[in-house]
Structure 1
């Protein structure tokens, strides 16, 4: 009898293992197809702008391409997209274009008038350095980190985001700025200059105190009094209302505290990331496919636009965060990611070859209140999508 039960148990185990393997293989096929589509589409994009010096793709609205020079905060994302494609396909044409478009962003290493240097340089030169070891890229990144450090005020304890609207904000800091601290932490490790880490930690700590509400949603903009170093205004710039949860901003927070834990091993950052994840996953206005509306409190829900970019940033962060939590949370996070990736890889969100302005994903939202890039493709949606696919592929 015991022998028979053992045989049945073994058969059941084999069956369950097979089901698990089939599911993993199925997701692998989804990922492989997604990379194939992304490479074809991105090569079309690269060729389109190849002979337009300094131009980089931005979006596609009203049937027309929109592009920018390196000054636009998104300039590093298309080069970064190409680097992820090269990492996963080793296509030499992709490598050629990754280097070409990365070089178009180099002048931003001297940028001191905004906080987006991390987005611009770490997504482009950072990935290029990681994959090729190109020595020249180190100088670009370190110079960029030094430029970004000039925007840190020790009295306030944060890196200033914007210099405009001085009649409203004294010292504005946006939640997006968390994403630029990764460049500072790289610079600290590379140069052995602790100044960079101190700036990053100070910014992360003060953001955790003043940007987040009790439910772990965050404001978009917090402006600080330059004399006291304390907030004098908390609001949104791209969300539905000052007290709403602008979806991409929530994803920035999740992503930021996840990598901050990876780099510092400070458990406060891990707990912050877990709490933000809990807020997002269990939000009553989160759709079943986990592709958020542009704001979790948008008054038009469900008759309003989604933001695929918020989903891609969230997915990439959850994949990494799953490495730092217990088995139950890991399973919960990866189930969400599985749903997100399958949805984004479907025809509903993935563009057909040659369509969508040669961007990979559809249905992102840039700045809804300003009617800018609404239900449109965005370079950072594509970038974090490929980062999520890369991270997920390594875990299968």
Structure 2
């Protein structure tokens, strides 16, 4: 009997340990989202990052922590990732109501103001300006932010080529892009949100039309018959004819680069929200289903689904975070209740895995997450902590919190 009691006590203790901070999204037996503990972790990590940021110079925006480093690499406002850090700070303000985060979010957002006062450097104005000033305007209604957003949308629109029907992604020579022909990358789907927003907030109807055209032309030309995506399509800038499709940051031109597919999932979900075009909703599900069907058991993708080194290939937590956030929104649109439930459950499982000891940065560095892959063919940011992984991670957590509280994805937490 004594031995039996001892064994039972050990089992109970082990069960309690398994319900530790590492499984923040799920408490023992109740599937309760532990928001307070979770956002306390995010606040603590971001506070550590704030303390480490240099208080001088032009490169003070965190971008990545390379494996084995422990220290952030900083960039200036013209880097394509510059909007994610201020966006993360705005999300922290929304999650906590702490004025500290509002003050810091405003400070780092305003570093990006020159982007609205200069010619377009590339398509990433959406990532840069909408994630920073866009979140700021949503939470504060600051008219200064609105003016910057509208000017930036007009700047982004200058890259639209009506002969092709899409926005030029890289207005400069990039290897294998046939410059000066017209290139369009899958990431650009996310930047359409800035155009949609502007068209509803004082901007021209043409901005809406450009965004719709871009999504439609991309849907027609940038996917294989099985709905996996190419990273880039090159078009003849004069005729609009498709020249070729390549996968610049993936394993091969015929492979499915994980983050590229996640951009497609997120982008077409957002396009349906903004247009209510059923074709976009149907397409969002098609690009989602092929991604989900190819995932490993833990739902965190390898950086490219076709890398022959799998299962020893690097993972990409950033793709998982982007997809989890998109799935939460997509689950609110899908009319098939069983499919909507599947998308919601998959998103929660992705977030649970990202919130495990295997992916949380904790004391390794002050980012939120480990194990993202930026540009493996260039051996850049491989198995690193990357700011956009953190951004979409906190976005997904906020979206889940809102849904659990009966709010909409785009509502402001009270």
**TM-score, scaled to structure 2:** 0.87
* DSSP-derived class of the 2:255 partner: coil
2:223 is the counterpart of 1:212: yes
Q: How many residues of Structure 1 are paired with residues of Structure 2 in the alignment? A: 371
2:302 is the counterpart of 1:293: yes
Distance in 2 separating the partners of 1:82 and 1:268: 35
Q: How does 1:33-72 map to 2 (within 5 A)?
A: 33-49=37-53, 51-54=55-58, 55-61=60-66, 62-63=68-69, 64-72=71-79
**Partner residue in 2 for 1:317:** 326
What is the CA-CA distance between 1:27 and the residue it aligns to?
A: 3.7
CA contact (8 A) 2:221 2:242 kept: yes
Residue in structure 1 matching 2:209, options 180, 190, 198 = 198
**Greater shift in the superposed pair: 251-260 or 343-352:** 343-352
The Cα RMSD (Å) is: 1.6
Distance in 2 separating the partners of 1:324 and 1:363: 31
What is the CA-CA distance between 1:191 and the residue it aligns to?
A: 1.4
Distance 1:24 1:152, change over 3 A: farther
Distance in 1 separating the partners of 2:124 and 2:214: 15
Distance in 2 separating the partners of 1:101 and 1:25: 39
What is the CA-CA distance between 1:65 and the residue it aligns to?
A: 2.6
2:350 is the counterpart of 1:340: yes
**Greater shift in the superposed pair: 225-234 or 198-207:** 225-234
CA contact (8 A) 1:142 1:187 kept: yes
Q: Flag as ranges the 4+ runs of structure 1 deviating above 3 A.
A: 21-27
**TM-score, scaled to structure 1:** 0.91
Structure 2: stretches of 5+ with no match in the other structure: 1-25, 405-414
Distance in 1 separating the partners of 2:340 and 2:304: 26
* Deviation digits for residues 119-166 of structure 1 (CA, Å, limit 9, x no counterpart): 000000000000111110001000100110000111111100012237
* DSSP-derived class of the 1:178 partner: helix
What is the CA-CA distance between 1:50 and the residue it aligns to?
A: 5.6
* DSSP-derived class of the 1:28 partner: coil
CA contact (8 A) 1:43 1:94 kept: no
* DSSP-derived class of the 1:101 partner: helix
Structure 1: stretches of 5+ with no match in the other structure: 1-20
What is the CA-CA distance between 1:213 and the residue it aligns to?
A: 1.0
Residue in structure 2 matching 1:366, options 374, 390, 405 = 374
What is the CA-CA distance between 1:347 and the residue it aligns to?
A: 1.3
2:399 is the counterpart of 1:395: no
Distance in 2 separating the partners of 1:101 and 1:113: 20
What is the CA-CA distance between 1:34 and the residue it aligns to?
A: 2.4
CA contact (8 A) 2:88 2:391 kept: yes
Q: How does 1:160-239 map to 2 (within 5 A)?
A: 160-162=168-170, 163-165=172-174, 168-169=177-178, 170-239=181-250
